[in-house]
Amino acid sequence: MLNNRELFLLNTAQTSNSPRMIEIAKAEGVYLYGPNGEEYMDLVSGFNVSNIGHRNPKVIQAIKDQLEKYLHVTVYGEFVQAPQVEFATDLLAVLPKQFESVYFTNSGAEAVEGSMKVAKRFTGRRQIIAAKKAYHGSTQGALSLIGNEEYHTAYAPLLPEIEFITFNNSDDLSLITEKTAAVIIEAIQGEAGVRVPDISYMQALRKRCNETGTLLVFDEIQTGFGRTGKLFAFEHYDIVPDILMLAKGIGGGMPLGAFVASKQVMDVIKDNPMLGHITTFGGHPVSCAAAKASLEVIRENQLVEQVAEKEQLFRTLLQHPKIIEIRGKGLMMCLQLETFDQVYNVSNYCAQQGIMIDWYLHCETALRVAPPLTITNDEIEKACKIILDGIEKYT
């Protein structure tokens, strides 16, 4: 009889030759638990999903309540489903008034797909501009925006008429022209190793998009829902994008994504042809019920307001000559080391000591630190001590 680890390798598709293989039996709050009682403090948050921690009681209750009513009933956009309507209303209430309409998807990549289509239809243009080192998802449209040549070559042909600019480089903004339907950009680049742009860059980008009639589409799939110390990272730049893409932390641990825009922009998918963007499961009622509860948890517990102080505690404690740089904003942080071997060994050591950390898709020389926003100061102190021990031993 094979065990779960063996069956994992045998029966489930592998995405790399070196999966972490940590078996999870349960997750609660800031902790993950293995089948033999192993305990890991989670500093990855399922890649910026578990902003309110795992299995928040209010979210679990909302899921149970919805389970008693209905699961899937029909494709998105036909029936009036209270969880969708109520969560869309709550979400719009915490966004600037320019945002008037929410389209629910299953995932981040699908929010990207929908946004690209809406931008092309609304502007009547075909060119889309993305940033080098960007990551927006793995479907073929979203992958076309990846700023990494290796993936373009491996999965060619991807979408035509995609151009790339250098992130946080104002000189490249002149490449945005009257031909550009949309600039799709992460509010803070995540998988590039947490690159925080200058406020002046984001403001210049907004200005250039205004001048050229280009839609500015912000990917807040990693940065949304309090992660960076604001409910949404665009608030740091004092600008408002035209389309906001959300996923990951939106659902309190349930699968959900969304793109949000003005009614005028969103309306283009309604006709010529009708049903221009549809999904069977997007906005699943259980996910939307969880998302509504999750947003309430964030707001009622003032989680966003505590992020800057927690960031500061990490930054104060994580002092070591081998940490080249700590990048990031709020609890979306990265510790730059020198080599992947160092990162790999330190993260393995941390896992053995009960601390889960990781690295980045396009930056394997940096450690990912992105705990649930609910992490306490004592837990931060414990985690930092173990990370420093690991760095001391393996660098």
Instruction: Name the residues that contact ligand PLP, by CB under 6 A.
Output: 47, 107-109, 135-137, 186, 190-191, 219, 221-222, 247
Q: CB–CB of 262/269 below 8 Å?
A: no
The pair of structure tokens assigned to 47 is: 């890649």
Question: CA geometry: angle at 293 spanning 287 and 299, to 5°?
Answer: 135
Torsion over CA: 77, 78, 82, 83 (sign): negative
User: Of 141 and 229, which has the nearer Cβ to ligand PLP?
Assistant: 141
User: Of 134 and 343, which has the nearer Cβ to ligand PLP?
Assistant: 134
Tell me how far, at minimum, the Cβ of 279 lies from ligand PLP, in Å. Answer: 13
Tell me how far, at minimum, the Cβ of 189 lies from ligand PLP, in Å. Answer: 8
User: Of 53 and 249, which has the nearer Cβ to ligand PLP?
Assistant: 249
Tell me how far, at minimum, the Cβ of 104 lies from ligand PLP, in Å. Answer: 13
Tell me how far, at minimum, the Cβ of 388 lies from ligand PLP, in Å. Answer: 27
Q: CB–CB of 299/144 below 8 Å?
A: no
Tell me how far, at minimum, the Cβ of 377 lies from ligand PLP, in Å. Answer: 28
User: Of 48 and 180, which has the nearer Cβ to ligand PLP?
Assistant: 48
User: Of 219 and 242, which has the nearer Cβ to ligand PLP?
Assistant: 219
d(CA 143, CA 45): 23
Nearest to 47 by CA among 364, 358, 383, 258: 358
Tell me how far, at minimum, the Cβ of 368 lies from ligand PLP, in Å. Answer: 11
Nearest to 51 by CA among 356, 370, 367, 357: 370
Tell me how far, at minimum, the Cβ of 276 lies from ligand PLP, in Å. Answer: 20
Q: How many CA atoms lie within 13 A of 4 on its CB side?
A: 7
Buried/exposed code over 187-219 (b: 16+ C-beta within 10 A; e: otherwise): bbbbbbbbbbbeeeebeebbebbeebebbbbbb
The pair of structure tokens assigned to 34 is: 């293995």
d(CA 394, CA 390): 6
With CB atoms as reference, the residue minimizing the distance to ligand PLP is 108
User: Of 209 and 247, which has the nearer Cβ to ligand PLP?
Assistant: 247
Tell me how far, at minimum, the Cβ of 112 lies from ligand PLP, in Å. Answer: 6
d(CA 334, CA 366): 6
d(CA 208, CA 213): 8
User: Of 118 and 247, which has the nearer Cβ to ligand PLP?
Assistant: 247
Tokens 């070559």 sit at which residue? 153
Tell me how far, at minimum, the Cβ of 271 lies from ligand PLP, in Å. Answer: 28
User: Of 185 and 265, which has the nearer Cβ to ligand PLP?
Assistant: 185
User: Of 81 and 107, which has the nearer Cβ to ligand PLP?
Assistant: 107
Tell me how far, at minimum, the Cβ of 353 lies from ligand PLP, in Å. Answer: 26
User: Of 108 and 193, which has the nearer Cβ to ligand PLP?
Assistant: 108
